[in-house]
C-alpha cells in the first residue's frame, strides 16, 4: 500500500481570513469588539439623557466634552501602566472604575442632582483603557516583521472601530427611546466590563511586559507632535459631526457615516501598504476635507434627511483610511516598549479634538442653526490637512 502524505493546510486567500486564522486571534477579537461597542454608545446616550432631562444640547455637549478632555489627560497614564505591568493587570480595574463613573452619571441625571455632579461623574469614566490600542499591540506582537499583515490588522481594527460607532449610536438611541433615557448608558457599562473581562482572559496572545527603560516620552519622537496636532483637528471633525447630527436628526443617522468608513477601511486593508506613508496621509486628509463639505451642502440646500443620510455615508469614506495611515506611522515611530502609550497618545489627541468639536458644534447648532454646525467638521478637516502638511515638510 503506497505511503500517503497529509495534504498541506490551505492558506485562506482573503487577507482578513488569514489574519483571523492566527492562533488566539478570534478569542481576543471577540472580547475586544464587545468592549469597544460602548465607544459609540456613551456620548450619544449621555447627550440624549442629559438633553432630555435639562432641555439643553449645549449642556450635554459641555458635559461630554469635559469627560473626553479628562480622558485625554488620564488615558496616557493608563497606557503607560499597561506597558509596564501588562494588559490584564491594568485593564480590568481601570474599566471597573470607568463603569462606576457611568453608573454615577445615571444616578445624577435620574435624581436631578446639581449640574456640577454631571461633569464630575462623566469625568470619572476617563480611566477606561484604550482597548483598540491594546488589540493593535497584540497584532504588532503576533506579526512582528510582517508589514502586509500589520497593514491588514490596522485596517481591520479601524473597521472594527467604525462598526462600533455604526452600531453603538443606533443601539443607544433605540434603548433610550424604547426603554428609558438612562438605558443606553447602563447597557454600555455592562458591555464594556464584560468585554474587557473576556479580552483580559486571553493571556496567550498578550504581549510580554517590556523591560523598563529610561527612554524619552513618545511625545519627543520626531514627527509625533505634528501627528498629534493633526489628530486633534481630526477629532474635532468627529465631535462636531456627531453632536450636530444628533441635534438635527437623531443618533441613528450617524450609523451611515460610520458605515461608509467601515467599508472604506476594509477595502483599504486589502490594498498594498503604502511605501510613502506620509504622502498617503496627506492624500487621505485632502479627501476628508472635500467629503466633509457634503453634509454642509446638504444642510444648506435641502431639508431632506434622505439626502443628508447619503452625504454622511459618502463623507465617511475617507475616515478609516486616514486613521489607519496615522496608526501605521505611530507604530513605525514609537519604540515597541512604549507602543501602548504612543497609540493612546494619538487616541487622546483625537478625544481632545472630539471634546472641542462637540462643544463648538453644540453651541453653534443651538445658537446659529444646523448649517453653521456642519461647517465645523469641514473647517477642522482642512486644519488637520494644513497641520499635517507643515509637519511632513519638517519631518
Tell me if 9 is assigned to some domain: no
Q: What pLDDT is recorded for position 295? A: 94
Segment 42-67 shows an average pLDDT of 85
In a domain, 104, yes or no: yes
| CATH code of the domain containing 70 | 1.20.1250.20
Q: Which domain holds residue 170?
A: 24-207+217-394
| 339 pLDDT more than 90 | no
Burial of 19 by CB count in 10 Å (0-12 exposed, 13-18 middle, 19+ buried)?
buried
pLDDT band of residue 1 (cuts 50, 70, 90) is very low
Q: Is the pLDDT of residue 210 over 80?
A: no
Cα distances (angstroms) measured from residue 73 to each of 20, 47, 320, 344, 361: 33, 22, 24, 11, 22
CA pair distance 239, 88, nearest whole angstrom: 30
Q: CB within 8 A of 385, min separation 6: which ones?
A: 230, 282, 285, 286, 288, 289
Helix axis angle, 254-269 relative to 224-249, nearest 10°? Answer: 140
Q: Is residue 108 part of a domain?
A: yes
Whether the predicted pLDDT of 386 surpasses 50: yes
Asked if residue 374 is part of any domain, the answer here is yes
Distances (CA, A) of 28 to 14, 137, 189, 327, 376: 20, 12, 19, 20, 37
213 pLDDT tier (thresholds 50, 70, 90): low
Angle between helices 224-249 and 370-394 (to 10 degrees): 170
Residue 43 located in a structural domain: yes
Q: Compute the distance between CA of residue 392 and CA of residue 389 in angstroms, rounded to an integer.
A: 5
pLDDT-derived band at 385 (thresholds 50, 70, 90) equals very high
Classify residue 271: in a domain, yes or no. yes
How far apart CA 52 and CA 118 sit, in angstroms, is 14
Residue 25 CA: distances (Å) to CA of 33, 139, 204, 340: 12, 8, 10, 18
Mean pLDDT score, 100-104: 94
- pLDDT for 106: 93
Q: Give the per-residue pLDDT at 57.
A: 80
- Answer yes or no: is 162 within a domain: yes
Classified as helix, coil or strand, 222 is coil
pLDDT at position 4, please?
A: 47
* Distance, CA of 86 to CA of 206 (rounded, Å): 8
CA-nearest of 273, 298, 287 to 373 is 298
- Least confident range of 35-39, 99-103, 189-193, 272-276: 272-276
In this model, does residue 209 exceed pLDDT 80?
yes
**Residue in 220, 146, 227, 162 with CA at minimum distance from that of residue 391:** 227
Count Cβ atoms below 10 Å from residue 287 Cβ, excluding itself. 18
| Segment 250-269, tens digit of pLDDT | 766 777 887 888 889 899 98
Tell me how crowded residue 203 is: count the other CB atoms within 10 A of its CB: 11
Measured CA to CA, the distance from residue 82 to residue 347 in angstroms comes to 15
Residue 380 has pLDDT above 50, yes or no: yes
Q: What percent of the chain has pLDDT over 90?
A: 39
**Residue from 48, 295, 86 nearest 182 by CA:** 48
Give domain status of residue 2, yes or no.
no
Once rounded to an integer, what is the mean pLDDT over residues 46-73? 84
Longest dimension (CA), the chain: 86
What's the average model confidence in pLDDT over 170-181? 86
φ/ψ of 275, rounded to 5, equals: -75, -50
Would the pLDDT of 109 be above 50?
yes
- Reported in sequence order, the residue ranges of the chain that DSSP labels E, i.e. its strands, are none
Is residue 218 a contact partner of residue 342, using CB atoms and an 8 Å limit? yes
Domain count within the chain:
1
Terminal Cα-to-Cα distance of the chain (whole angstroms): 67
Question: Stretch 148-169: mean pLDDT, rounded?
Answer: 84
Residue 2's pLDDT is 46
| CA separation for the pair 47, 130 (Å, rounded) | 22
**How many CB atoms sit inside 10 A of residue 11's CB?**
8
**Looking at the predicted structure, is the pLDDT value of residue 6 above 50?**
no
Q: Say what the pLDDT of residue 5 is.
A: 45
pLDDT band at 7 (very low <50, low <70, confident <90, very high): very low
Amino acid at each position: 500500500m503506497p505511503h500517503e502524505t497529509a495534504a498541506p493546510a490551505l492558506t485562506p486567500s482573503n487577507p482578513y481570513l488569514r489574519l483571523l486564522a492566527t492562533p488566539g486571534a478570534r478569542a481576543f477579537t471577540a472580547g475586544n469588539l464587545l468592549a469597544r461597542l460602548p465607544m459609540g454608545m456613551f456620548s450619544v446616550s449621555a447627550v440624549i439623557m442629559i438633553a432630555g432631562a435639562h432641555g439643553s444640547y449645549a449642556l450635554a455637549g459641555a458635559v461630554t466634552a469635559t469627560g473626553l478632555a479628562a480622558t485625554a489627560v488620564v488615558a496616557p497614564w493608563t497606557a503607560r501602566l499597561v506597558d509596564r505591568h501588562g494588559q490584564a493587570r491594568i485593564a480590568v480595574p481601570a474599566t471597573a472604575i470607568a463603569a462606576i463613573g457611568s453608573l454615577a452619571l445615571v444616578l445624577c441625571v435620574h435624581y436631578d442632582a446639581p449640574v456640577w455632579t454631571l461633569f464630575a461623574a462623566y469625568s470619572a469614566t476617563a480611566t477606561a483603557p484604550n482597548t483598540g490600542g491594546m488589540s493593535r499591540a497584540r497584532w504588532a506582537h503576533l506579526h512582528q516583521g510582517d508589514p502586509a499583515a500589520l497593514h491588514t490588522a490596522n485596517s481591520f481594527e479601524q473597521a472594527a472601530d467604525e462598526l462600533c460607532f455604526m452600531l453603538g449610536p443606533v443601539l443607544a438611541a433605540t434603548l433610550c427611546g424604547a426603554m428609558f433615557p438612562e438605558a443606553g448608558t447602563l447597557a454600555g457599562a455592562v458591555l464594556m466590563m464584560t468585554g474587557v473581562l473576556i479580552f483580559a482572559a486571553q493571556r496567550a496572545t498578550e504581549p510580554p511586559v517590556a523591560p523598563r527603560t529610561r527612554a524619552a516620552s513618545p511625545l519627543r519622537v520626531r514627527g509625533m507632535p505634528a501627528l498629534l496636532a493633526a489628530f486633534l483637528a481630526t477629532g474635532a471633525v468627529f465631535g462636531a459631526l456627531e453632536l450636530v447630527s444628533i441635534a438635527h436628526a437623531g443618533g441613528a443617522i450617524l450609523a451611515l457615516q460610520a458605515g461608509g468608513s467601515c467599508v472604506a477601511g476594509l477595502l483599504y486593508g486589502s490594498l498594498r501598504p503604502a511605501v510613502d506613508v506620509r504622502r498617503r496621509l496627506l492624500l487621505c486628509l485632502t479627501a476628508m476635507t472635500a467629503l466633509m463639505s457634503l453634509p454642509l451642502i446638504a444642510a444648506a440646500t435641502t431639508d431632506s434627511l434622505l439626502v443628508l443620510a447619503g452625504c454622511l455615508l459618502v463623507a465617511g469614506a475617507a475616515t478609516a483610511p486616514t486613521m489607519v495611515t496615522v496608526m501605521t506611522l505611530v507604530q513605525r515611530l514609537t519604540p515597541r516598549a512604549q507602543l501602548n502609550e504612543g497609540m493612546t497618545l494619538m487616541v487622546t489627541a483625537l478625544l481632545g479634538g472630539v471634546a472641542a468639536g462637540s462643544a463648538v458644534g453644540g453651541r453653534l447648532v443651538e445658537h446659529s442653526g444646523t448649517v453653521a454646525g456642519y461647517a465645523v467638521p469641514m473647517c477642522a478637516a482642512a486644519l488637520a490637512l494644513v497641520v499635517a502638511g507643515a509637519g511632513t515638510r519638517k519631518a
